[in-house]
Structure 1
Amino acid sequence: MNEVPVSSHVKMVARGVDVFYGTKQALFGVDLDIRDNSVTSLIGPSGCGKSTFLRCLNRMNDVIDGCRVEGKIELGGQNIYAPNVDPVLLRARVGMVFQKPNPFPKSIYENVAYGPRIHGLATARNDLDQIVETSLRKAAIWDEVKDRLHEPGTGLSGGQQQRLCIARAIAVSPEVILMDEPCSALDPIATARVEELIDELREGYTIVIVTHSMQQAARVSQRTAFFHLGNLVEEGETDHIFTNPKEKRTQDYITGRFG
């Protein structure tokens, strides 16, 4: 395997990543750099491997029977698939926000406090209070929930629930936040709020987002990677991918000829 050079300002590096579900291969030799403090969009038609790749980045595929990941993925120079890496601790460093908002059946406060508590980031009530408030502020939902922190998170609207889930991910101070189609279950107004939030968060976090919406990729990301049939076809600055792609398959997908 030829060594692919790694540029500076890279937070995560994937090299030669193959993924198998049983005997079926879902990803083929993916090489991708995830830049620090930027948003990278993964786009492509359904079943192309973009969500499979996203789940490799925090070892969520470990929980799928028969799934095997080969190749190398590094976070800050450390192989995340090394035997001495604890996936639970890894997922504190690489948080995830899912397609459908999934708050815990707990209060708004406890949704955010849960991670810091189990990871030992805070034990004193004052420290937890501070983490909860800071996380909810960063997720742009504090003003809406500050007077109802002890009400159930499940009682919020869909868009608020998704921002609560983002606050929950932020609360353990991750380095990277993965988002798997975070707006697909939301209405346009809630989607706009989450997109604004993503733009603000990239100052402090590295973000990777899977999206079916090319308009969303164009709005929120600095870099875009196009997947097709389990292959990474092309990756580069978002503007270039959308206006001047190198590959015909990318051009065809962006102009709606398939997908």
Structure 2
Amino acid sequence: MSAMPDQLSRMTEAMPEVTQTTRTPKMAARDVHVYYGETHAVKGVNLDLHQDEVTALIGPSGCGKSTFLRCLNRMNDTVATCRVEGSITLDGKDIYDNKIDVVQLRARVGMVFQKPNPFPKSIYENVAYGPRIHGLAETRLDLDEIVATSLEKAGLWNEVKDRLDTPGTALSGGQQQRLCIARAIAVNPEVILMDEPCSALDPIATARVEALIEELKGRYAIAIVTHSMQQAARISQKTAFFHLGNLVEMGETTQIFTTPREERTRDYITGRFG
């Protein structure tokens, strides 16, 4: 939902403060282009993700933000017509290098999708699946601890601890999304990517997920695609505005929403288009 000018002051009141520092990014994208066949979907994007920071990707539908997000853990590899050019690094190493184990990459760079997608398994097995296949638990007690800790971090443990054997699909929509977040963090990722994680949720469930993102910020680098200007203002420290495949402007969230440098950014935030 786009914000009108008289909403901007209310939005910025709740914005988290950002302290400017010079830091090495956790992930860095340089001159990234993405093509679907002949369609040029993402055009020369340069963007950094930092540890302990939430970066919001905003922009109209079809502007390339979700396509770019999927490049960060090579989800676009599953699309036959997709071609990615440029450089994306994780801790300085090119994630598109032929020597990279994509399964291990996706453990380090987890993804939470727009629609909750729990496995058709129990709550316990949803969370245990990743640690089990990655060999993170030597014993059942180790696995139990990982499951409990992950559900606690996702703010779900107290709600499900007495019914871990029930299907994950039996949970409410908001609980399912938090279960998917627990599943993502169970394999000890370093980066979490979220593609409109609250778009299918009611306001109460959305508030729970946003509070969870705020808590997780201290442990991970987080990038979130959102169409809600209010959500971007509430939860992010950095905001990147995409339009027609281009990264038009990126900066501290307060700056983007109060004194954007680009006219297109100002027009989008104030509801003149998008």
Q: TM-score, normalised by structure 2?
A: 0.92
| Letter paired with 2:36 | Y
Q: Hey, what's the Cα distance between the residues in 1 that align with 2:138 and 2:230? A: 43
1:92-171 equivalent positions in 2, closer than 5 A: 92-171=107-186
Q: Is contact 2:51–2:219 with CA below 8 Å preserved after alignment?
A: no
Corresponding residue number in structure 1 for 2:52: 37
Bigger relative CO (Cα 8 Å, ≥ 6 apart): 2
Whole-Å separation in 2 of the counterparts to 1:235 and 1:49? 15
Task: Report the secondary structure of 2:26's partner residue.
Answer: strand
Match of 2:219 in 1: 204
RMSD (CA atoms): 0.9
Amino acid at match of 1:207: I
2:244 maps to which of 208, 229, 239: 229
Q: Distance in 2 between matches of 1:140 and 1:100?
A: 19
The CA deviation at 1:7 is: 4.4
CA distance in 2, matches of 1:119, 1:172: 8
Structure 1's unaligned 5+ residue stretches are 1-5
Question: What residue number does 1:52 align with?
Answer: 67
Q: 2-side partners of 1:64 and 1:22: how far apart? A: 10
Cα distance in 1 for partners of 2:261, 2:74 equals 31
Q: Return the match for 1:90 from 81, 105, 117.
A: 105
Report how far residue 9 of structure 1 moved.
4.0
1:81 matched residue in structure 2: 96
Pairing 1:190–2:205 present = yes
Q: Distance in 1 between matches of 2:126 and 2:112?
A: 13
Matches within 5 A, 1:1-80: 7-80=22-95
Structure 2 CA distance, aligned partners of 1:88 and 1:213? 31
Structure 1: distance between partners of 2:103 and 2:161 = 29
The answer to whether the 8 A contact 2:195-2:225 is kept is yes
Could you tell me the TM-score, scaled by structure 1's length?
0.97
For residue 114 of structure 2, give the secondary structure of its aligned residue in structure 1. coil
Count of matched residue pairs: 254
Amino acid at match of 1:30: V
| Regions of 4+ moved over 3 Å | none
Task: Answer whether contact 1:9 1:36 (CA < 8 A) is retained.
Answer: no
The verdict on how the C-alpha distance between 1:202 and 1:9 changes in structure 2, with shifts beyond 3 A counting, is farther
Query: Equivalents in 1 of 2:269, 2:50: separation in Å?
Result: 23
Provide the rounded CA distance (Å) in 1 between the counterparts of 2:163 and 2:234. 32
Displacement of 1:65 in angstroms is 1.3
